[in-house]
Chain A
Amino acid sequence: MSTTTGCGASDSHASRSCSAKSSMGALLCFDMNNVRYITSTHIGTWAQDKISRFTLLPQRGRADSLGLRLGGAPSPAATARGSANARAPVSRSMRGAMTPEMGRAEDVAKKIRIELEKRGLHKEPLGVDVIEPDVMLALQRGGHRHRRRPRS
């Protein structure tokens, strides 16, 4: 987080404060250390290098823990109870185990775009920490442009 925004955020509150001052509409994070800073949620070493779970920190408001759930969907019972985990089915390329024609990168990009549109941020610059190239390309095909982080 600190290298991305240069604000040295150390918890979710600080992350939100930084985000509000940023020129980015939202910050998309796949690095689980950043996810932990932003959401105060740690889901273990299982997810540490998968580049598959992510969170979206909008310029204002709370981070959305899209895809933070670990593997698979919640049980039907959890869904029925309206659990917070009953959202956002898993999307991932599984580090290349899913081939491009399976369309999982497009699925990730679509879900991210839906969340951005909900907040009116889909035309704003989107920051990312680390990202699989096919997901980045899918985001670009959906209208997002990327640029390198300006030197501080």
Chain B
Amino acid sequence: MSAMMVDAAYYDLYKAMKPGMRENEAVALVAETVATTSGSEYVEGVNAISGERCSPHPHRLLRSRHCGQATRSTTTSCIRHGVSHLLLPHVRDRLGVARTRRRLQAVPRLPGCVDRADSARAGSRRRSSSVWPKAQEFGFPNEEAAFALQMGHGIGLAIWEKPMISRLVSLEHPHEIKPGMVFALETFWPSTDGWSAARIEEEIVVTQTGHEVITRFPAEQLLVAGAPFVTVGGTLPIDPRDRSAAQSARWSR
């Protein structure tokens, strides 16, 4: 339920995002959607981040900057309603395409991280954190320095609960995975420019036979803000060259 509420907030945010939007406006929109429209009892830690991503960390809060000028905006949110949820909608403008493309290189690594991280099955006592990348693989000297960038944690009435899944502690102290557990899986991967990165958090529920991802807003690709133009023949490509190519293809039939 809580994951759905935040999915709805991201949908509204995606529709609203455009170059020139300020971070505080994005935060206000998400907070209002989750609290007022969806009725969450408590909205916590809605973050909007423009500019240098992951420097020092994705969770930087409430600076007032223009998304367009900063080339992209990443919004994360947690709600205190049993479940927290962080996903990453983005906006870019012409100034930011080059940097955004470098970030694109990082994004495909993240679903893989999630897949590896949630490979644990109910009843298993395997060290599920061992399938996550080592700190050195993504640029950190040790697991403590990288802690919280690749981790999983249970979610219940509080947003930090057992089990803890982290290479920092779980290899020596694993928790048993049980059906009904709900995890947040927080993933991070650096881009090649040395300072930006992508970060996606998904939530899963452990089932008798595996797991189900309960966060549904698309996060596997960077999203470009802007209204899609839907026609009777489908969604119109945003890029005029693509539209021209599609038109030529139709006329050549």
Q: A: which residues have CB within 8 A of B? A: 42-46, 48, 50, 69-78, 83, 85-86, 89-90, 94-99, 101-104
Contacts and interface: CB of A to CB of B under 8 A. Distances in A.
Given A70-B60, A96-B162, 5 more contacts: A70-B59, A73-B146, A75-B56, A95-B158, A102-B164
Given A45-B45, A73-B140, A78 B195 contact: yes
Given A44-B45, A44-B61, A97-B153, A76 B139 contact: yes
A94 B154 CA distance: 11
Nearest to A101: B173
A96 B190 CA distance: 29
A70 B190 CA distance: 17
A75 B164 contact: no
Contacts of B67: none
B147 A74 contact: no
15 contacts: A44-B62, A45-B45, A46-B61, A71-B58, A73-B56, A73-B145, A74-B54, A74-B55, A76-B139, A76-B194, A77-B195, A90-B147, A97-B153, A97-B163, A99-B173
Mostly, the B contact residues are loop
Contacts of B62: 44
Interface of B: 44-45, 47, 54-62, 78, 139-140, 144-149, 153-154, 158, 160-164, 169, 172-173, 188, 190, 194-195, 197
Contacts of A89: 144-145, 147
Contact of A85 (B56, B161, B173): B56
A96 B160 CA distance: 8
A129 B60 CA distance: 25
Contacts of B162: 96-97, 99
Contacts of B47: 44, 46
Contact of B195 (A48, A75, A95, A103): A75
Contact of B57 (A42, A69, A98): A69
B195 A97 contact: no
A101 B169 CA distance: 9
Contact of A75 (B55, B61, B153, B158): B55
Contacts of B172: 102
Nearest to B144: A89
A135 to B, nearest CB: 15
Contacts of A71: 57-59, 148-149
B219 to A, nearest CB: 18
Contacts of B59: 43-44, 46, 70-71
Contacts of A83: 55-56
Nearest to A49: B44
A71 B56 CA distance: 9
- Which 9 pairs, one residue from A and one from B, show the smallest C-beta to C-beta distance? A46-B45, A74-B56, A44-B61, A72-B148, A85-B56, A70-B59, A77-B195, A73-B145, A71-B148
